[in-house]
Amino acid sequence: MVQLVYLARLREVFGTAGENVDLPRDVATVASLLAWLARRGGAWAAELAPGRAVRVAVNHDVARAETPVRAGDEVALFPPVTGG
Amino acid sequence: MPVRVQCEDFDVAGELERLRAGDARIGAIASFVGLVRDVNEASEVRTMTLEHYPGMTEKALAKIVEEARSRWDIVDALVIHRVGELKPGDQIVLAAVAGTHRGEAFVACEFIMDYLKTRAPFWKKEQTPEGERWVEARISDEEKASRW
């Protein structure tokens, strides 16, 4: 099980602050996780389409497309940051 | 604690005083204070709500401060970032760097702000007469951060 966290605008468009999901065996990286979520269609497909600016953190560290995702991880999806 | 995330306002003079307290090596403090503006993208901003990612935010800020320490010979640094609802004129962020001389303090302070704006998980939402809107990230901020 992976804990997904959605922040800021993504929380609003997905309509939830997060969820726990069991990943299929072939979903083992950030890139494959985003592609798997995009297959839900609707807002998921629109927001997670290739080329959209989605940032990802795995266990509170900024992640890249190839960063591994494993059971027990906390994976956060969010828009580019705008603090300061 | 060199980084703090808080709802409450902060007192710049008091924070700078604490940063330098008891360390006579410090010959310079460079500081930056970010404020809420009343107009953005041609709309009146009535309030601004700052959201963050608890758990990651402090870690991300601490990493930025560590990176500054590793690149420049500075004595100490401090970052305070507010979250929650803010009004025009309110203070949002304080970044301060203490060093032996001004050069490294100035540079490290600018580095911390450039990295904070592109790497620390904060998001601004503005409440305007036309409704609410999330502030969009600026490409110019990415360009500034990529200089370092």
Using pLDDT thresholds of 50, 70 and 90, give the confidence band for residue B58.
very high
Q: Report percent pLDDT > 90 for chain A.
A: 94
- How far is Cα A38 from Cα A14, in angstroms, rounded to an integer? 11
Q: What is the mean pLDDT of residues B76-104?
A: 97
Residue of chain A whose alpha carbon sits nearest to that of B134? A9
- Residues B10-31, mean pLDDT to the nearest whole number: 96
**Complex prediction ipTM:** 0.94
Average pLDDT of chain B is 95
Q: Which of A2-11, B42-51, B65-74, B116-125 has the lowest mean pLDDT?
A: B42-51
Residue A59 has pLDDT above 90, yes or no: yes
| Alpha-carbon span B32 to B12, nearest angstrom | 10
> Which structure tokens are listed for B126?
């503005």
Q: In the prediction, which pLDDT does B1 show?
A: 61
Q: Say what the pLDDT of residue B43 is.
A: 84
- Residues in B whose CB is inside 8 Å of some CB of A read 34, 50-53, 55-56, 59-60, 81, 92-93, 113, 116-125, 134-137
Check CB contact under 8 Å for B116 and A84: yes
Nearest to B117 among A78, A79, A84 (CB): A84
